[in-house]
């Protein structure tokens, strides 16, 4: 487990209780990120098996999107990453479409000689669905001749 000035679990509980989203911290061991702490919102994203603390993170987000591996490699090389309205499989019992959208960021931090990746993810499903609905409405109006 990474050693920091503050206990990672305590930090996630303190910050996570006021943040409406998923938080996870991965220590970098070799070229693999290892999950060292995560809040409940992060763990609930995965159906089964959920990631385990202390194990290499094969998927930092649910689903098998090959872009994520490239993103992680880029972040390990020092590039911070941020995405809006990224589609992921919806957590069970949430959205009837089976798809959720999230805004997420991943960045590398180096504190006390320990390198880690910090993931912050917030639900953007309702906003994204509203935006998609507006686009569909504009297309429909254009096709009907109501909008130029």
102-141 pLDDT tens trace:
888 999 988 777 788 889 888 888 777 777 666 667 677 7
Class of domain 8-144: alpha beta
Contact by Cβ (8 Å): 116, 26: yes
Contact by Cβ (8 Å): 41, 22: yes
Tell me: the pLDDT tens digits for 53-83? 888 877 788 777 788 888 888 998 888 899 8
Q: Does pTM top 0.85 for this prediction?
A: no
Q: Where are the domains of the chain?
A: 8-144
Counting every residue written for the chain, the total comes to 148
Query: Which of 37, 40, 45 minimizes the C-alpha distance to 7?
Result: 37
Query: Which of 122, 96, 92, 102 minimizes the C-alpha distance to 23?
Result: 122
């Amino acid at each position: 487990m990474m050693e920091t000035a503050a206990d990672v679990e305590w930090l996630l509980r303190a910050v996570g209780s006021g943040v409406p989203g998923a938080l996870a911290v991965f220590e970098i061991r070799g070229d693999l990120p290892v999950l060292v702490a995560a809040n409940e919102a992060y763990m609930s994203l995965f159906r089964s098996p959920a990631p385990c603390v202390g194990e290499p993170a094969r998927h930092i987000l649910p689903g098998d999107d090959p872009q994520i591996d490239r993103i992680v490699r880029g972040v390990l090389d020092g590039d911070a990453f941020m995405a809006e309205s990224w589609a992921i499989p919806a957590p069970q019992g949430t959205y009837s479409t089976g798809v959720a959208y999230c805004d997420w960021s991943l960045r590398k931090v180096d504190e006390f000689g320990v390198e880690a990746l910090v993931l912050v993810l917030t639900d953007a499903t309702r906003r994204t669905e509203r935006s998609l609905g507006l686009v569909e409405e504009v297309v429909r109006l254009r096709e009907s001749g109501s909008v130029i």
